[in-house]
Amino acid sequence: MSDAWEKSAAAWIASQGDAGDFTRRYVLDAPMLARIEGRGFQCALDVGCGEGRFCRLIAPLVGSTTGIDPSPSLIAEAKRRDARGDYRVGHAEGLDFADRSFDLVISYLSLIDIDDIEPAIAEIARVLAPGGTLLIANLNSFNTANDGRGWRTDWRGRPRDFPIDAYLDARPVRAAWKGIDVVNWHRPMSTYMSLLIDAGLRLTLFQEPAPTGGDHAKADRYRRVPYAHVMEWQRD
């Protein structure tokens, strides 16, 4: 996973710009920020921070933020854009932090990129302090279970349906666009839920946010197929 993202880092940085892509800008940013603002979090960890965009967004809302990512090029870009920020090359499967180090851990569209999800979730739970919050944005499993053909269209070229297949079979799925060529993972929702529960976490929020702007045709497709979700988990 890290090699693919390292090779795609320049294309990713160019595609995101400062505002982020459609999913981040019009679907996920607002509900994610709403779960952070005004809650007094003191020490946040962004697992899979990429070029540091979300770390920069939440910097005024939390005491301190650390971002980790396995791609050295993405971390270098994060440091370039935010020289005072704390950005480190690291892997979710082996977090280099003490137990109970953070009262907020964020995974913003990064769980789908992790090959070894079991140790990664165990590590995330390990560094989360009692009373702490794990905030997740992830692609919906109905989305990642697409049969590879994307949207099928009718005779007029309008989106007709979005077929899925082998929903219960976890598998890597190639994702290639705008010079980016990486592997996402399809996993049934039960895989994530079971691992998080087994890690001792308690679900306190589940949302499937609708788009709030952007291209109308694209927003309509997002409403027809549950594209992404937001979850909040608590360590008691």
pLDDT digits (tens, 9 = 90+) for 70-93: 999 999 999 999 999 999 999 999
Residue 55: name the closest of 43, 68, 37, 67 by CA.
67
Query: How would you class 11 by CB atoms within 10 Å of its CB: exposed for 0-12, middle for 13-18, buried for 19 or more?
Result: middle
Domain ranges of the chain: 2-141+188-235
DSSP letter string, 190-220 = HHHHHHHHHTTEEEEEEE-PPP-SS-HHHHH
Which helix (H) or strand (E) segment holds residue 3: the answer is helix 2-7
pTM of the model: 0.95
Residue 73 φ/ψ, nearest 5 degrees? -70, -40
Is 72 within 8 Å of 37 (Cβ atoms)?
no
Could you tell me how far CA 231 lies from the centroid of its own chain? 11
Look at the block and give the residue holding tokens 């320049």: 10
Cα separation, 164 vs 156, whole angstroms: 22
Q: How many residues does the chain have?
A: 236
pLDDT at 194: 98
pLDDT at 2: 56
> Other C-beta atoms within 10 Å of 77: how many?
22
3-state secondary structure of 37: coil
pLDDT tens for the chain, 236 residues: list them: 558 899 999 999 999 988 899 999 999 999 999 999 999 999 999 999 999 999 999 999 999 999 999 999 999 999 999 999 999 999 999 999 999 999 999 999 999 999 999 999 999 999 999 999 999 999 999 999 998 888 999 999 898 999 999 999 999 999 888 899 999 999 999 999 999 999 999 999 999 999 999 999 999 999 998 899 999 999 99
Residue 192: name the closest of 146, 134, 147 by CA.
134
Query: Which CATH number does 2-141+188-235 carry?
Result: 3.40.50.150
